[in-house]
Every structure is written in structure tokens, then in C-alpha cells.
A = this chain, B = another copy of it.
Amino acid sequence: MTTAPRTRLSPAERREQLLDLGVRLLAHRSLDELSIDLLAEEAGISRGLLYHYFGSKQAFHEAVVRHAADDLIAQTTPPTDGEPLERLRTSVTAYVDYVVANHEGYVSLVKAAAGGNESLRAIYEDARSALNGRLFHGDDAGEIVPDTPAARLLVQGWSAMTEELVLSWIDDSRGVTREELLGLVVASLPAVVGVLGTGR
């Protein structure tokens, strides 16, 4: 097979191509398990071009994670009307369906945030607070969750639980249906927040 001819794309197109490829490749390998050589070959470009667009391997990783996070936020826009509990259910459903549909990309995002440096973590935290924040910032904010330090802590914990439940369920649903999962996640927020009264 002869060497492929050099193809010239617009910066936006090339950037998009490289980010999409990065999300796919980083879902199963960690960053240092992914060599620039492999990435370049897979994309049909030279090593140098990656540095022209992203400057460093780390910066490329950050761009990939931000790309995945933006996608998550965009594809799970919350409803603006309806009762609070119903809005919660709709949002959770969108989140679960997104994670199911984009499993690889989402795992890539979570792994990067948990294992990576401060800036990667920051990108993830921003996405997460965007997901949570818009749930509790309507006109009827406070109907489900009061705004106290302990309550904020609990909401953060509930988010972590939700993520664990969904990823674990995808990994092995063990006879639990999607509807049951949604019911568990939605019901557990009020249940957890209800703890606020009992703690001493």
C-alpha cells in the first residue's frame, strides 16, 4: 500500500476530526497508553500536525475532555416547566439515556477527571455543577432541596451515587430494568435530603 496523499482540511474540520477520534481512542486506553504515533496514524496525519493544533499531549487531552463535557451538557438540556419532581425525572432520564448511548465517551470523561490533574478535574466539576445547578435554579428552587451547607453536600453525594448507579447498571444490569433504575435514582434524592431532619 502506498503512502496516502496529504489531505488539506479547514482548521475547524480537522479539529473536530481529531477531537472525535480522541474521545473514541481515550475511552479504552489511558492517556499515556495512547501514543501520538498511533493517534496520528489513525487520523491519517503526521505527528507534527497534532502539536500545531493543540500544543501538547496534555492540552489535547483537556480539549478532548472539554469536547465530551460540552456534548453531554448540550444533549441533556433540562425542561423549563412542569413540577419539580417531574422535571427531575425528565433530567435524570435524559442523563441516563445519554450515558447509555455514549458510554465510551462518558467513561473517557469520568476516568480523565478522576485520575487526571487539576485542570481536567475542573472541566468535569464544571459540567457536573452545570447538570445539578440547572435542576435547582428555577423559580421553585428550594421546593426539593433547601440551600444549606449540609444540603449542598448531600446533593453532591447524590450525584456521585447516581453516576455510580448508572455506570454499574450499564456494566451489569442484573435484571434491573431501565424504568426501575430511573425510579431508584429519582426517588433517592428526596430520600437523601430527608435525612437532613434526622441527623443530629
A8 to B167: give the CA distance in the assembly, Å: 48
A153 touches B179 (CB 8 A): no
From B33, B110, B187, give the contact of A198 (CB < 8 A).
B187
Chain A, 102-129, CB within 8 A of any chain B CB: 110-112, 114-117
> Could you say which interface size class chain A belongs to?
35 or more
| Set of chain B residues within 8 Å of A159, measured between Cβ atoms | 164
| Set of chain B residues within 8 Å of A55, measured between Cβ atoms | none
| A30 at the binding interface (Cβ < 8 Å) | yes
B154 touches A164 (CB 8 A): no
A183 to B39: give the CA distance in the assembly, Å: 49
| Set of chain B residues within 8 Å of A158, measured between Cβ atoms | 161
A7 to B184: give the CA distance in the assembly, Å: 59
| A200 at the binding interface (Cβ < 8 Å) | yes
A165 to B200: give the CA distance in the assembly, Å: 17
| A82 at the binding interface (Cβ < 8 Å) | no
B195 touches A191 (CB 8 A): yes
| A149 at the binding interface (Cβ < 8 Å) | yes
| A180 at the binding interface (Cβ < 8 Å) | yes
| Residue in A168, A199, A200 whose Cβ sees the most chain B Cβ within 10 Å | A199
| Set of chain B residues within 8 Å of A176, measured between Cβ atoms | 149-150, 153
A200 touches B175 (CB 8 A): no
Shortest beta-carbon distance, A68 to chain B, in Å? 15
B161 touches A30 (CB 8 A): no
| Residue in A111, A116, A187 whose Cβ sees the most chain B Cβ within 10 Å | A187
Sample 27 A-B pairs with CB under 8 A, ordered by A number: A30-B115, A30-B117, A32-B32, A33-B117, A110-B114, A111-B114, A114-B115, A149-B175, A149-B176, A150-B176, A154-B188, A156-B168, A157-B161, A157-B168, A157-B188, A161-B164, A180-B199, A180-B200, A183-B195, A183-B198, A183-B199, A184-B195, A187-B195, A187-B199, A191-B191, A191-B192, A191-B195
